[in-house]
Amino acid sequence: MPEFKLFNLFPLTIYKSKIILTDSDKKDLENEIFDMEKKSQNLGYKNENKAWTGDTQGYENLHNNIKFKKLFGEIENHIKKYLELLNIDLEKIDIFFQRAWSTISKGVENISPHIHSQSHISFAYYLKKNSTDANIVFLDENKKNEIIPRLFTSGSVNKEKIIKKRDQLNSPAATFVVNEGDIVIFPSKTLHSTQANIKNDYRISLSADVSILSKESEYLEHLVPPFEKWKKFSN
C-alpha cells in the first residue's frame, strides 16, 4: 500500500497550568467557601449525588471578593496567555469576569454535562482535590469522524465490538486528569462534566464565566461592542 498520512483538523485547544497557593492562603479560601455552603444549607439546593455550586446559591461574585483578589489576579494572567496562544490581539479587546463561583463535591457527588452559553471562556481551578478521581470530562457533541449515526457509542465498543479500541479519532469523550492547584481553560461552548468522587473525600473548585468585548466597535461586527456604546431600554 502506498504511504499515507492522517490529518486531524480543527482541534479543540485546552489550556492547563498551575497556580500554587501557600497552605495558609489555601486554608483561608477553603474556610470562606465552606462558610458560603453552610449559609445556603437551608435553601433546598441538594439533589441526590449533585455537587454544591455557589452560582445557584447567591455566591457568584468571587471575583469581587477581596479574599480572592490575589488568586483572580493569577487567573487573569493565565487567561491572557491562553488568548495569546490562540493568536488573539489583546490590544483590541477587553476581558471581563461576568461571574465566578465555587463548587464543593463530596462522596459520590458529580456535575452533569453542561455548557456555559452566556460567556466566551470558562475555567476550572482546583483548590482542593485528591489525585485519583473527580476529573473533568470534555464531550464531543459533533463527533466529526462518526461516519454512521451512533457508531461511537459505548455499545459499539462493549457489545457489538464494531470499534476495536478507543482513541482520539473515535472517542466521544475525553477525561482530563487534573490535580490540586491545576487550572484548566477552555471555550465556554464546550460540553463538559465532572466525574464523581471515588474516595470518601471532597473536592473544591472555582469556575467563572469570562466575556470578551471589543475596545472599538468599528470593523469588528462579530465582537460584542464596548459597554459605553450600549443603551438600556427605558422602564
Domains of the chain (ranges; CATH) run: 15-40+51-135+177-214 (2.60.120.620)
What is the C-alpha separation between 103 and 82, in angstroms, rounded?
23
The answer, yes or no, to whether residue 158 has pLDDT greater than 90, is: no
pLDDT of 41: 62
CA nearest to 109, candidates 26, 19, 205 = 205
pLDDT of 103: 92
Over residues 85-102, the pLDDT tens digits come to 999 999 999 999 999 999
The answer, yes or no, to whether residue 83 has pLDDT greater than 60, is: yes
Q: What stretch of H or E contains 75? A: helix 69-85
pTM for the structure as a whole:
0.89
What is the C-alpha separation between 132 and 199, in angstroms, rounded?
8
pLDDT of 108: 78
Three cell numbers at 150? 451512533
Give yes or no for a contact between 124 and 102, defined as CB atoms under 8 angstroms apart: no
pLDDT of 44: 56
> Which value, to the nearest 10 degrees, does the dihedral of the CA atoms of residues 132, 21, 127, 77 take?
-110
What is the C-alpha separation between 123 and 11, in angstroms, rounded?
18
The answer, yes or no, to whether residue 45 has pLDDT greater than 70, is: no
